[in-house]
Structure 1
Amino acid sequence: MIERVRRLLSPDLMARFIAVPSQFDRREQHLVVMSIVVGAVVWSAVYLLKLSVHWLSEHILEIVEQTPFHLLIFVPLVAGSLIVAALAAWRASFVYYRDKDNHLHALNDVEGDGLERTIGLYYTSEPALDRALLGTQGVRARWEMPTFSLAFRKFLATLVTLGGGGSGGLEASVTLIGESLAVGLFKPRPRMIPHNLWALRLWRWWRTLDPDELQTAQLSGVAAAVSTLLGAPLAGAFFAIEVMYRRRPVIEKLIYALVASLTAFFLGHFASPTNTKFVTVSGLLPPPLNWRYYLILVVLAISVAFVDIYLRKVRGGLSAFFHERFAEPWQRHVVGAVMTGVIGLTAAWLTGESLDLVLGTSDRVIAAALTGQLTIWIAAVALVGKLLATMSTIASGGSAGMLVPSMYLGSMAGVIVA
């Protein structure tokens, strides 16, 4: 340990570290500092959400399972759905998202999968005819949308949705939280502009009026959020770049997204050295490298592709069902929560497993699948149940994402094929 400290404090290493800023121009120095600050701020919020969701979900499901009446799971589910409906109506705004078929969708900023909202907000500052006619272009177009308040509302909506027993993942929700926090750090607020000369100079250096720099901050926020959850900084940075790619040049922003992602990763490592990875599995044997193994991989890939096709159809059908049948948003949220509860109870009854087989984030089930602890029957029920429960949660307006459920479905398909 003493030898490591000596190496870190060696004059040669310190001299190299001090010389690092000279390798960047002033704009690059600003972007690097910006990425570090964004990474630290986003990490603090996402890390708190991660701990809160897992703690609340585990305790609620444990309390329900210790009682003879598992139907009590509907209490936190319905209560959470009503809170989300209230948050979606409070200071609500709409984010315009253009899908790959060039269809424009007006999405409530708090409800559902946050990834589509994040993509829509990312491209808000780019030139567009409608915004040009309204006289709001560039960074002003994004600053007119909520920032810190949106992050706060999305935080609470995700906490009560997943913590209360809803089915889904955290990743899509935290991308919106990360983006909103990143933009909020640069949003000019007339009442808070400093009057001290040095503070004013610092603010003028810190602020950004360039849409390209603002998008760099947004990417950094998304990368830091994903890195905090997965414990994989490279995955966080490349995920942010990949989801924002719309035939636009974004690769030059990768280094800054990686800086923010690494900042979040190291902060998470310092806060919890033994719990930085998303799933930790030990004692796995290397796979046999023969033609049977590769044939199984091909069959698995085809199976997962069919699951993805079915998932998209279910999501589209349930979304149309909820929005066409229920005029009041709170009705849609409550019905979705009840459907999620019914699916979770049915899956637990069919398999004899606990309620977290389908409800919550189900991280434990993914680890169990990777270590061969699930039977084919349990995996089959879990695959269908998780797909339906997650789609019921998200399509009805619950605040949850699809990244972890997609990993869940893939692992269940792997158990069945293997």
Structure 2
Amino acid sequence: MTIQHAKSDPQQNLLVMCVLSLAVGAIGGLGAWVFRLLIGMFHNLFFLGKFQLAYDANAHTLENPWGPWVIAVPMIGAVIVAWLVKTFAPEAKGHGVPEVIDAIHYGRGNIRPVVAAVKSLASAVCIGSGGSVGREGPIIQIGSAFGSTLGQIMRLPTRQRITLVAAGAASGIAATFNAPLGGIVFAIELLLISVNVRTLLPVATATVTATYIGRALLGTHPAFDIEPLRITDFHLESPWGLLLFVPFGLVMGLASIVFVKGMYWTEDRFDAMPGGAYTRHVFGMTIVGSLLFAMFQWQGKYYVAGIGYGTIVDVLSGALTNPAFLLLLCALKLVATFLTLGSGGSGGIFSPAMYVGATLGAACGLAIKTALPEAQVDTLAFALAGMAAMIGASTGAMVTAAVMLHEMTDDNNVMLPVITTMILACAVRKHFSPGSIYTIKLLRRGHVVPEGLQAALDDARNVSHVMSGSFSVIEAASPLTASPTIATIVVHGGEVQRLVAPGEAPVNRGAEAPGDLVILAPDEPLVDALRKMKLAKTACAVVSSRPDSARVEDVLGVLSVQEISSYRTELAELFS
């Protein structure tokens, strides 16, 4: 008889995980800083012809020296991006977060190290050359790639490697937006498989580290530090003021559907085009370049280029007050984003979603203000609610959207309108498009991932809660007749030789030919037991009061696929 001790990568204690998370957080903070410098370098080089790192994303770009040739700027960027992605890392294409989620749920937390470098360069070039994408997706993928690489170097088990991947993503979000709570909640809502002290402490450690480094290098002010956000005092004089956000939430839900569906529709159209990655991306960015040139000729600003924070600041500060023009900006930003990412660009979708939400929200607020002057509508409240609703509905990360909006604006006055709008927008999107902008990409690969968290009841169950106390015992020398309903324990000399699972085809062996055996303790966590059975490649295990012994009199029961299946069926009743 051989007692099977399944081997796996050693699990590190919580202190070691926190030390590793410090390193992950440091890279997240430094990575956000370096990534911003790269964006500034490419932006100044492409649009101004200067080699300069300083770049204020909240200000509009000055007039370029190229004249009509500025149309070629996004085209040149497209060639570089296509070459980087095609040559080194196809995973760097797109907005990045789906690749991280896929690595967690279907790749055992493994992300190639080269992805971080390629994603940094490709996204910096894409944003710097005018591509309509954000910087959060890249920094999420950069931090996650480092967390995964560190986990692989340390030979961590899958669950701890995934924790470092989530910590890397959270640290990137925290540093790039100066939003530590938003980073933690993002990891909880979209990345972590289970939420407990063992996972949250490393994620929080990385987030605090990244935020501290980010603030030291990038400043302590919120992402949108403007006067109207510091003096706004939103009051609800009556319930009717809040009810105005109900139809607005429905509008934002429909807008999020356009955003999600339009993104993948455009991607499908480009994938069906003749030619390769170069021609498709250059074609798409030629249209974007023409759009930028036309906007500058008409309005003196590019408006829809890059991450678009300059336009968001204009909306929040009240500089844009024409509803028709705001709706036009909203539509053009959607088109530019679809073309950039659909044709093969690299960058995030948080910033475009905020832009669309701000412009559409302000337009709706101004329209209501004109139609109902006695309602005392606060346009800024509509813009902020639209930003959160667009992010929450399109990504499925509602709490993240609300928390990040508060941290990015340092404004807590509009939480009721924000929550009301976001809930309704998410409900509308969920009804018409069950998948979010992240999960649809994975569903197309046949990879189903959960949208939301469920209680980790497996962690709260011991083997004794699931095992069966019914089993039969026979001597090894006796003819074996396995039962279809209960497990059969084969004994020789008072010791368990092997275990035959219910319904398993009987194979007679003599005492001299023992089988492998997994012995579990009754108080052993069910998750650990299932892990041992998987590694030992067995469908059945013995539960003993003395797991270091194989004596038959110590056997309390058996744990087989049959008991696990029955437990899972009962568990399904608890989840919606």
Q: Alpha-carbon deviation of 1:339?
A: 1.9
Name whichever of 279-288 and 57-66 sits farther off: 57-66
Q: Alpha-carbon deviation of 1:392?
A: 0.7
Q: Alpha-carbon deviation of 1:151?
A: 0.7
Specify the alignment match of 1:152 in structure 2: 117
Q: Answer whether contact 2:71 2:292 (CA < 8 A) is retained.
A: no
Q: Deviations for 1:183-242, whole angstroms, at most 9, x for unmatched residues? A: 222433xxxxxxxxxxxxxxxxxx233111101110110001001111010101111221
Q: Secondary structure at the match of 1:280?
A: coil
Return closer, same or farther for 1:305/1:239 CA change in 2, 3 Å cut-off. same
CA distance in 2, matches of 1:159, 1:311: 23
**Which one has the bigger helix percentage?**
1
Q: Secondary structure at the match of 1:187?
A: helix
1:78 is aligned, of 75, 78, 88, to: 75
1:168 is aligned, of 129, 133, 137, to: 133
* Mapping for residues 160-199 of structure 1, pairs under 5 Å: 160-188=125-153
Q: Alpha-carbon deviation of 1:327?
A: 3.3
Specify the alignment match of 1:240 in structure 2: 187
- 5+ residue gaps in structure 1? 1-24, 93-107, 127-138, 189-206
2:96 is aligned, of 110, 114, 118, to: 114
Q: Secondary structure at the match of 2:232?
A: coil
Q: Alpha-carbon deviation of 1:55?
A: 5.0
Q: Answer whether contact 1:237 1:257 (CA < 8 A) is retained.
A: yes
* Mapping for residues 365-404 of structure 1, pairs under 5 Å: 365-375=311-321, 376-404=323-351
Q: Answer whether contact 2:80 2:122 (CA < 8 A) is retained.
A: yes
Please tell me whether residue 294 in structure 1 is matched to residue 291 in structure 2: no
- 5+ residue gaps in structure 2? 1-10, 50-60, 366-576
**TM-score normalised by L of structure 1:** 0.76
* Mapping for residues 281-320 of structure 1, pairs under 5 Å: 281-283=226-228, 284-290=231-237, 291-320=239-268
Q: Answer whether contact 2:119 2:346 (CA < 8 A) is retained.
A: yes
Q: Answer whether contact 2:178 2:220 (CA < 8 A) is retained.
A: no
Please tell me whether residue 34 in structure 1 is matched to residue 20 in structure 2: yes
CA distance in 2, matches of 1:402, 1:111: 13
Q: Alpha-carbon deviation of 1:69?
A: 5.7
**Count of paired positions:** 339
Paired AA for residue 20 in structure 2: M
CA distance in 2, matches of 1:298, 1:345: 38
Paired AA for residue 239 in structure 1: F
**TM-score normalised by L of structure 2:** 0.56
2:34 is aligned, of 44, 48, 62, to: 48
Q: Secondary structure at the match of 1:174?
A: helix
Please tell me whether residue 264 in structure 1 is matched to residue 210 in structure 2: yes
Q: Deviations for 1:110-168, whole angstroms, at most 9, x for unmatched residues? A: 11111111111222444xxxxxxxxxxxx7xx2xx521x21111111011100111111
Return closer, same or farther for 1:293/1:55 CA change in 2, 3 Å cut-off. farther
Return closer, same or farther for 1:237/1:67 CA change in 2, 3 Å cut-off. closer
Q: Secondary structure at the match of 1:412?
A: helix
Higher relative contact order (CA 8 A, sep 6+): 1
Specify the alignment match of 1:322 in structure 2: 270
Q: Structure 1 vs Structure 2: percent identity of aligned residues?
A: 24
Paired AA for residue 142 in structure 2: I
CA distance in 1, matches of 2:115, 2:232: 45
Q: Alpha-carbon deviation of 1:367?
A: 1.7
Return closer, same or farther for 1:396/1:366 CA change in 2, 3 Å cut-off. same
Paired AA for residue 270 in structure 1: A
Dislocated runs of 4+, deviation >3 Å: 58-70, 272-275, 345-350
Specify the alignment match of 1:362 in structure 2: 308
Please tell me whether residue 416 in structure 1 is matched to residue 413 in structure 2: no
2:85 is aligned, of 75, 85, 88, to: 88
Specify the alignment match of 1:407 in structure 2: 354
Q: Answer whether contact 1:73 1:341 (CA < 8 A) is retained.
A: yes
Return closer, same or farther for 1:347/1:36 CA change in 2, 3 Å cut-off. same
Q: Secondary structure at the match of 1:372?
A: coil
2:201 is aligned, of 240, 248, 255, to: 255
Paired AA for residue 397 in structure 1: G
Paired AA for residue 314 in structure 2: A
